[in-house]
Structure 1
Amino acid sequence: MRDIASLFGSQYQTIFGGPSPNGAGGSGSGLGGNNSDCCSPLAGGSSTPARRRSVSLGPFRRRIRSEFSLLDYFFHQPKHGRHTRYPNRTFMLMAAGFMFIICGALVHILDPYLLIFKWKLIFQEGSEIFNLWRTPPVDLYIKIYLFNVTNAEDFMNGHAEKMQIEEVGPYVYRELMSHDNITFNDNGTLSTRPHHPLIFQKGLSGKLREDDVFMMPNIALLMYDFDDDFETFFTGESSASVSGLYDTYLGSPDLAQWNGSHCSNIRNASDGTKFVSFIKPDDKLLFFRKSMCRAQILIQNGTDYEVNGLKATKFVFEDNALDNGEFDSRNKCYCRNGNCLPRGLIDVTSCYYGFPIALSYPHFLDADPKVLAHVNGSRPDPKVHRSHFMINPVSGLPLQLSVKFQINMVLEDLSSMAHCEKFSKLVVPALWFEITMPGLPKSLLSRFIFYLKILPFGDQVVKHSLLVLGGILLLVAITKVSLTLSSAYSSAYRISNELRDSLW
Structure 2
Amino acid sequence: MGCDRNCGLITGAVIGAVLAVFGGILMPVGDMLIQKTIKKEVVLEEGTTAFKNWVKTGTEIYRQFWIFDVQNPQEVMMNSSNIQVKQRGPYTYRVRFLAKENITQDPKDNTVSFLQPNGAIFEPSLSVGTEADNFTVLNLAVAAAAHIYPNPFVQVVLNSLINKSKSSMFQVRTLRELLWGYTDPFLSLVPYPVTTTVGMFYPYNNTVDGVYKVFNGKDSISKVAIIDTYKGKRSIYAVFESDVNLKGIPVYRFVLPSKAFASPVQNPDNHCFCTEKIISKNCTSSGVLDISKCKEGKPVYISLPHFLYASPDVSETTDGLNPNEEEHRTYLDIEPITGFTLQFAKRLQVNILVKPSNKIQVLKRLKRNYIVPILWLNETGTIGDEKAKMFRSQVTGKVNLLGLIEMILLSVGVVMFVAFMISYCACRSKTTK
State which of 111, 131, 140 in structure 2 corresponds to 1:209.
131
Deviation per CA, 1:165-196: give whole Å up to 9, x if none.
Answer: 22222211111344223233433332322224
Q: Which has the larger radius of gyration?
A: 1
In 2: Cα distance, 1:216 partner to 1:165 partner: 18
Residue in 1 that maps onto 2:271: 332
Identity %: 21
> Does residue 351 of the first structure (1) align with residue 294 of the second (2)?
yes
State which of 342, 346, 351 in structure 2 corresponds to 1:408.
351
In 2: Cα distance, 1:102 partner to 1:386 partner: 47
Residue in 2 that maps onto 1:298: 238
Query: In structure 1, what residue type is equivalent to 2:253?
Result: K
Residues 36-435 of structure 1 mapped to structure 2, 5 A cutoff? 100-111=19-30, 112-156=33-77, 158=78, 161-177=81-97, 178-187=99-108, 188-209=110-131, 212-213=174-175, 214-217=177-180, 218-221=199-202, 227=208, 229-250=210-231, 252=232, 255=233, 265=234, 295-303=235-243, 305-336=244-275, 341=280, 342-423=285-366, 425-435=369-379
> Does residue 449 of the first structure (1) align with residue 406 of the second (2)?
no
Q: Give 1:96 shift.
A: 6.3
SS at structure 1 position matched to 2:343: strand
Q: TM-score, normalised by structure 1?
A: 0.62
Q: TM-score, normalised by structure 2?
A: 0.71
Cα root mean square deviation, aligned: 3.7
Query: In structure 2, what residue type is equivalent to 1:314?
Result: R
CA contact (8 A) 2:221 2:339 kept: no
CA contact (8 A) 1:183 1:192 kept: yes
Deviation per CA, 1:257-283: give whole Å up to 9, x if none.
Answer: xxxxxxxx3xxxxxxxxxxxxxxxxxx
- Larger strand fraction of residues: 2
Deviation per CA, 1:346-384: give whole Å up to 9, x if none.
Answer: 111122233210112222233233334433333333443
Q: Give 1:445 shift.
A: 0.7
In 2: Cα distance, 1:453 partner to 1:406 partner: 36
Q: Give 1:464 shift.
A: 3.3
Mind listing any 5+ residue stretches in structure 2 that lack a counterpart? 134-173, 181-198
CA contact (8 A) 1:322 1:344 kept: yes
Deviation per CA, 1:132-159: give whole Å up to 9, x if none.
Answer: 2222222221111112223223433x25
Question: Per chain length, whose mean CA-contact separation is higher, i.e. which structure has more relative contact order (CA < 8 Å, sep 6+)?
Answer: 2
Deviation per CA, 1:89-127: give whole Å up to 9, x if none.
Answer: 999978866664554343123133333334433223121
CA contact (8 A) 1:324 1:340 kept: no
Seen in structure 2, the aligned counterparts of structure 1 residues 240 and 366 have a Cα distance that, compared at 3 Å, is closer
Q: Give 1:456 shift.
A: 1.8
